[in-house]
Structure formats: C-alpha cells, structure tokens
Amino acid sequence: MHSTTYEEKNEETSSVLVEETGEKTSAKKAFLLLIKAFVGTGILFLPKAFFNGGLLFSVIILALVGSITACATLLLVKVRLQVPGEFGEIGGILYGKPVRILVRFSITISQLGFCCAYFIFVAQNLYDLTHTLSGCRVDIPVKYFIFLQLVVYVPFAMVRKIKAFSYGSLAANIFILFGIVYIFYVDIDHFVSVGAGDFKLFNPQDFPLFIGTALFSFEGIGLVLPVVNSMKEPKRFPAVLASVIVTVTVIFVGIGAVSYAAFGSSTETIILLNMPSDQATTKVVQFCYVFAILLTLPLMIFPATNILESAIFGDRSGRKSTMIKWEKNLFRALLCVCLGLISWGGASNLDNFVSLIGGFGCIPLLFIYPALFHFKVCAKSIWARAGDIVLSLFGLGVMIFVTYISIKSWSTSEVVNRCGNAV
C-alpha cells in the first residue's frame, strides 16, 4: 500500500513552484518567492521587539542576524547541491536517523509555534475590532476568538494538496503589502503631527527578547530548498539570496525602527493596535491581516502535519482505507485544537511567546544544522571547518540564552485594551 511520505510532500512543494509558470523557476521568480516567504505577519511584532532591544541595538542585531542567516543558508544550499533530499533527509544521510528526527522536530516546533502566534494575532485583532466597532459596548474575551478560528482551520487541515493554498497565499501577500504601506503612512503622519516617541537606544532589561523575535521574523528558511530545487539555474541562487536578505532586512529595519521611534514606550506587541482606531482604514487593514492569517495558517501547519503523520501512521495510507483516512482527519482536527489551547496559554505574553519560538525553534534551522551539514560535506580547509564549528556553537549558545530569558521573563501581567479593560 502506497503512502505519501514527508519527502514526497516536500518535493510536491517544488513541483507546485514549477507548475505555477509551467517551467523551471527563473532567478527573478525565485527572488519574489523568497520575499513572499520571509515578509509575513511576523513583521508586525518587530516594533515591540525594537522596544525590547532599543533602537540602535535592534538595528545592529537585525542586520547581523540577516547576514548570518544569509551565510548559513548558503552553507545549506552548498550541501544540497551535493546531497539530494529535503532538510531532514539530508541530516539523516549525513549523521543518521537521530539527526533526521531532530531536524524534523525543529521544523515541527517552529511551524507549530508560528501557527500559535498567528492564532493569538488574529484573536487580539478581532478583540480590538469588536471594541472599536461597538464603541466598547461589546467585550468578548480573547480566548473565544482563539477557539472561533478552529471553525476555519479544522476543515482546511483536511486538505492534502499544498497547491490548494496557492491562491489564498497570493491574496494573503497582497493584504500584507497593503498593511505595510499603511503602517509606514501612519508612522510618518505621527512624526509630522505629534513628533517622536520616548525611545531608547538600548534596553538592558529585555534585549534578549528582541533577538528571539528577530529570528522569528526570518521565517522563510523552510522554502529555501524547494526554491533551489525548482530553479532553472541553481548556481544563481547565492546572488538571489543576497538580494533577498538585503531587501528583507531593509523592510524589517524600516518597520521596526520607524514605528518604535514614532510611538516609543507606547508601542504595542502588535503594531496595528497603535494605528488610530477612529479611522476606517485601520479597521480595513486589521480585517485584511485577519484574512491573511486565515489564508496563510493552513499553509504554515502543512509541513508539521505531514511530519507528525509520517511519524504516527508510518506507511499506512488513507487512499485505500477510509478508516485510516478518518483517523488522520481526527488527528489533524485534534492538532488544531491543541494549537488553540497552547495559544490560549500564551495570549497574554505574545512578545515572550514569539521570542521563545524564535530562540528554541528557529535558531537550529537557521544556524546549527546548516553549519553541521556543511562541516560534514563541504568544509575542506581548516578555516572552513573552524567556521562551521564556531557558527554551530554560537547558534547553540544563543538558543539556550534566548530560550532561558524568554521563559524566565514570562509575566502574568494583564494586557489592557483601548477601552481600558484587561484582555
């Protein structure tokens, strides 16, 4: 009995990229795909992250994270050109089954973490919208908005083909672009009419939270190998990646620095909550981002679902067995419910939650695994091997530090909405 494995699902992602144009992906197309992958709703958490880190510190660290991410990604691509396979499969070929499991664990944790953060994001925006639209007469707790989303996510979780999400992903990216333009407009208008906020250049108390959020923002690592696999000329990828990282870093620094400089200590965890609530455009942008997440989250959960199904069900396929198919459907539904419960627990500490995902889930994928893989396959000189060792140890140290601080600084303080009520 045939079963669609995780490797086949990963290859399907590459084939979808090819099918969109009917041919192999050009360098220009690859650039646009990666921009879409890296610039997501995580950008809305950056202004508060700049508050946690301080303006000057955050600009420097974000540029540093972007540079290291580019270098580590190039290491991974060099390995991929010599060792065929997806991320986890490469780890298994080079270091055995335990590393393959470890890589897939990191992918699963990071993707599910992104999903939880987006659960909270949608819930808090819907909570804010109900207050502004009702004049503070309606006060529905955030937890209900978290679980309300399951009405959308559970049916979407049953979809088996990643291609089904392509049009929704395109619409989501249009919504996100519209929101970014509006945020820049409001920031500049705020500078002109009110002036700069009370910002700091460095925040010695909360700066580790910035590092985790910065790593969370570079969430497009999962699409790198599929894009390389789909390219007409894979050797042009390093130039494409350099252009993408520079562009993305400029956008991230722009949103984070300008918004924090405008609103200072009043900067909200989600910058949309700083937008003027009495303007219809703000409500439209919030609705756009809510729909963007509703259309994007099923795509975000797709890799994690396939990894977990492969681990739990093995070679058992639902193609010829209705019972197995519905067992998998039940599993996917329960997974969505679990994500809702986790999101409920992290809703009051969204900046810590995002930092924790970035530290524990994203750092291994961005820094540690690429360095270890390159050390095994491509590092021939003593300097190359030393560089790989330094990068992997640096990643491990930052992961432990950021994860520890994110958990240690977790607070139970109440979040207050625009109406002065506790969320």
Domain boundaries, the chain: 10-103+173-299+350-410
Under 8 Å between Cβ of 399 and 338: no
Structure tokens at 339: 């994500």
Q: What is the pLDDT of residue 12?
A: 46
Q: What is the pLDDT of residue 396?
A: 94
Count Cβ atoms below 10 Å from residue 198 Cβ, excluding itself. Answer: 9
Under 8 Å between Cβ of 204 and 338: no
Output b/e per residue, 101-133; b: 16+ Cβ within 10 A: ebbbebbbbbbbbbbbbbbbbbbbbbbbbbbbe
Q: What letter represents residue 310's amino acid?
A: S
> Quick one: which of 104, 94, 46, 120 has its CA closest to 361?
104
> Quick one: which of 5, 31, 7, 20 has its CA closest to 220?
31
Q: What is the pLDDT of residue 86?
A: 81
Mean pLDDT by 10 residues, the chain (423 residues): 42 47 69 78 85 93 89 88 85 92 90 87 87 81 89 84 66 84 90 86 88 79 73 82 88 91 88 86 88 80 83 76 84 92 82 86 90 92 94 93 86 58 56
DSSP letter (8 states) at residue 381: S
Cα–Cα distance list, 328 to 155, 212, 318 (Å): 13, 33, 8
DSSP letter (8 states) at residue 149: T
Report how far residue 34's alpha carbon sits from residue 173's, in angstroms, rounded to the nearest whole number: 12
- Helix %, strand %, coil % of the chain (to 5): 80, 0, 20
Helix axes 150-157, 322-346, angle to 10 degrees: 150
Under 8 Å between Cβ of 178 and 288: yes
Q: What is the 3-state secondary structure (H, E, C) of 202-219?
A: CCCCCHHHHHHHHHHHCH
3-state secondary structure of 231: strand
Report how far residue 123's alpha carbon sits from residue 180's, in angstroms, rounded to the nearest whole number: 20
* Widest Cα–Cα separation across the chain: 68
Q: What is the pLDDT of residue 23?
A: 58
Report how far residue 22's alpha carbon sits from residue 154's, in angstroms, rounded to the nearest whole number: 32
Q: What is the pLDDT of residue 163?
A: 64
DSSP letter (8 states) at residue 347: G
DSSP letter (8 states) at residue 23: S
Q: What is the pLDDT of residue 220?
A: 67
Q: What is the pLDDT of residue 414?
A: 53
Long-range CB contact pairs, 314-319, < 8 A, 24+: 314/3, 315/1, 315/3, 316/1, 316/3, 317/1, 317/2, 317/3, 317/4, 319/1, 319/2
Under 8 Å between Cβ of 274 and 187: no
Q: What is the pLDDT of residue 70?
A: 87
